[in-house]
Amino acid sequence: MGVADMQSNGNGNEGFSFRRCVFRRKQVDSHRVSSHSGGQTQQLAKILSVVDIIAIGVGATIGAGVYILVGTVAREQTGPALTVSFFIAGIAAALSAFCYAELVCRCPSAGSAYHYTYICIGEGAAWLVGWALILEYTIGGSAIARGLTPNLALFFGGQDNLPSYLARHSIPWLGIVVDPCAAVLILVVTLLLCIGIKESSFAQTVVTTVNVFGMLFIIIVGGYLAFKTEWIGYELPSGYFPFGVNGMLAGSAVVFFSFIGFDVVASTAEEVKNPQRDLPLGIGVALSVCCILYMLVSVVIVGLVPYYALDPDTPISSAFASHGMQWAVYIITTGAVTALCASLMGSLLPQPRMFMAMARDGLLPPFFSDISERTQVPVKSTVIIGILAAALAFFMDVSQLAGMVSVGTLLAFTSVAVSVLILRYVPPNEVPLHPSLQQLIDSPSLQFNSDSQEIAYQNPKGSLSNYDLSQHLLDNIGTSIGCTLLPKHMAQGEQNEQKRRKIAAWNIALVCVGVFVLASAASVENIPSILRFPLCTVGGAILLCSLIVLACLAQDNERHSFGHSGGFVCPFVPFLPVACILVNTYLLVNLGAGTWFRVSIWLLIGALVYLFYGRTHSSLKNAVYVPTAHADEIYRTSSDLLA
């Protein structure tokens, strides 16, 4: 069967064609396809060092939430055990960090989780993750900017003393409160991001340094005061766990979201000088610094004041004020403001690169993939996103939508963990060829001998004579890209490999099913007790059995040559990625029905955009897949013909 026959069959069956679109996967260096087809792919500037990456990671992670969160969580859920909750949450975040670290080394390109999902799982899942992250970054940036206004007002003596052009104003006939200060802050950050990645990373380093010094002030001075008062916050009759272990674990689920942000580092992969070395180091150091600072701050604050006496709105400032240090509020407020500024930059930085990656793949208009020749950043995307976020911050109080921002990150964390499992057990073994390159391959002058792994396209009509394209359609996650034609006399070793891949693919799918059933049964409140236990048992059994099979199954040898070589390798596979999937799915299920209803509307809009635009404009629309082993020979031969 020839290439033309395969395409006509796919187009003749609409259901099959749509399924083919959803599961089609791109290659690691997808720019290579564009270059071979004669296109010019603009590249971002590779100028970021490991110091820049750490500053971006720490700045995007440590928001002002920690200045408030410690009081709320300690009072209501953990008590003095807040430090343990931060530690457990840090371990849970590290599971995702390990998965990111491996993929960012193998696939160092813009797009972060969207890019990895497109390579390992398929176009449909990648679009879903990318669309959810767009929502997260937009609402997150607007919410952070709105939160900056009251904190900045403290330096002016209150919001009533802010200049009129920055103060919030109510519009009665519209029932909204506009926030000019928030919009101006977003536009300033947008301008900074347009100047260049080096300049914006320098600004990020400055504000992050100020924020870290503010937290060090809390730790050092607060620790000194606690020693003087003999840590009265821990001398309680209720002990270290007043709310029990369950309260401590519930607190971990809440403070886990304080660690969201390190994944922003992955979006800058294309701009890092040495991604294989610097990106894993940057992710690891950033997450470690944040976890240590969080734990030390919590140790000091719950030691200064008994947890039940903490002010839920200003816990740190009130704790220092109770010891006669009212002036410390200015230092703490400075730390909170710089933390918010760093988080704002961390929210606006990755989104233009996400748009750029999706536009490169044809899923969004090519306008978004334009890169400025002078600054080597996606200026057009940055400006549009900045204006949109500024408008949202100006007109809307997005705090009630804040729960939606967690969906994008948790979906990204989950897809990255699944991608690691796929990469290890069933890595993609086919390469998409651009339609123009396909025409060169189908020409009579290009020949392939299947015995010597040279191409033999003898038929001028484009059908294959000596090479069977069926081998690129191995039955794994992402099947149904084309018609699978098994050779009559397949070698025993190839048959065993096919069987291993099938078993691995099915068990990866069963892991996801078991995790979903278990997390849903354990978390959803409306499930009757008589059903909860059987569902938990079934979900746990599916998860455990499939995990055991994966642990006993040999990993694919091709994983060593997949993507870029060198760099970090995720340890304890499959246990670590499966634990990551379980933690993030549990948190996703617990976001609440209201949040999921609003997110579902956004995802439905995204599905329509993909159905009517992305699916038909994808760069893989007419791509033909060939085995990875033959891709290099095909590229070399086509280059010789073009020369």
Is pLDDT of 454 > 60? no
Q: What are all long-range contacts of 534-543, with beta carbons under 8 Å and residues at least 24 apart?
A: 539/514, 539/515, 540/514, 541/514, 542/510, 542/513, 542/514, 542/517, 543/510, 543/511, 543/514, 543/515, 543/518, 543/578, 543/582
pLDDT of residue 7: 41
Bridge partners, 626 (sequence order): 431
Q: Can you say whether residue 449 is alpha, beta or left, with left for phi > 0 and alpha for psi between -120 and 50 degrees? A: beta
Taking only the tens place, the pLDDT of each residue in 469-499 is: 333 333 443 443 344 444 555 567 788 889 9
CB-based contacts of 49: which residues, under 8 Å, 6+ apart?
272, 273, 278
Q: Are 124 and 23 in contact (CB under 8 A)?
A: yes
| CA 383 to the chain's CA centroid | 22
Q: Can you say whether residue 317 is alpha, beta or left, with left for phi > 0 and alpha for psi between -120 and 50 degrees? A: alpha
pLDDT of residue 528: 84
Question: Average pLDDT in the 87-109 region?
Answer: 94
Mean pLDDT of the chain: 83
pTM score: 0.87
Question: Average pLDDT in the 442-463 region?
Answer: 41
- What pLDDT band is residue 561 in, cutting at 50, 70 and 90? confident
Determine the 3-state secondary structure of 177 from DSSP.
Answer: strand
* String of DSSP letters for 314-367: SHHHHHHHTTT-TTHHHHHHHHHHHHHHHHHHHHHTHHHHHHHHHHHTTSS-GG
pLDDT of residue 475: 43
**How do beta strands 176-178 and 430-433 pair?**
unpaired
Taking only the tens place, the pLDDT of each residue in 29-39 is: 754 444 444 45
Is pLDDT of 594 > 70? yes
- What pLDDT band is residue 451 in, cutting at 50, 70 and 90? very low
Question: Average pLDDT in the 171-192 region?
Answer: 89
- What pLDDT band is residue 638 in, cutting at 50, 70 and 90? low
d(CA 142, CA 193): 16
Q: Cβ-count burial of 460 within 10 angstroms (0-12 exposed, 13-18 middle, 19+ buried)?
A: exposed
Question: Average pLDDT in the 207-216 region?
Answer: 94
- What pLDDT band is residue 449 in, cutting at 50, 70 and 90? very low
**Identity of the residue numbered 562:** F
Taking only the tens place, the pLDDT of each residue in 290-335 is: 999 999 999 999 999 999 999 887 899 889 988 888 888 889 989 9
**Identity of the residue numbered 457:** Y
Question: Average pLDDT in the 116-137 region?
Answer: 94
Is pLDDT of 91 > 60? yes
- What pLDDT band is residue 444 in, cutting at 50, 70 and 90? very low
Angle between helices 492-523 and 405-425 (to 10 degrees): 150
Q: Are 467 and 484 in contact (CB under 8 A)?
A: no
Question: What is the 3 state secondary structure string of 440-476?
Answer: HHHCCCCCCCCCCCCCCCCCCCCCCCCCCHHHHCCCC
Closest alpha carbon to 575 in 202, 130, 95: 95
Output 625 or 252, whichever has higher pLDDT.
Answer: 252
Taking only the tens place, the pLDDT of each residue in 352-394 is: 999 999 999 999 999 999 999 889 999 999 999 999 999 999 9
pLDDT of residue 485: 46
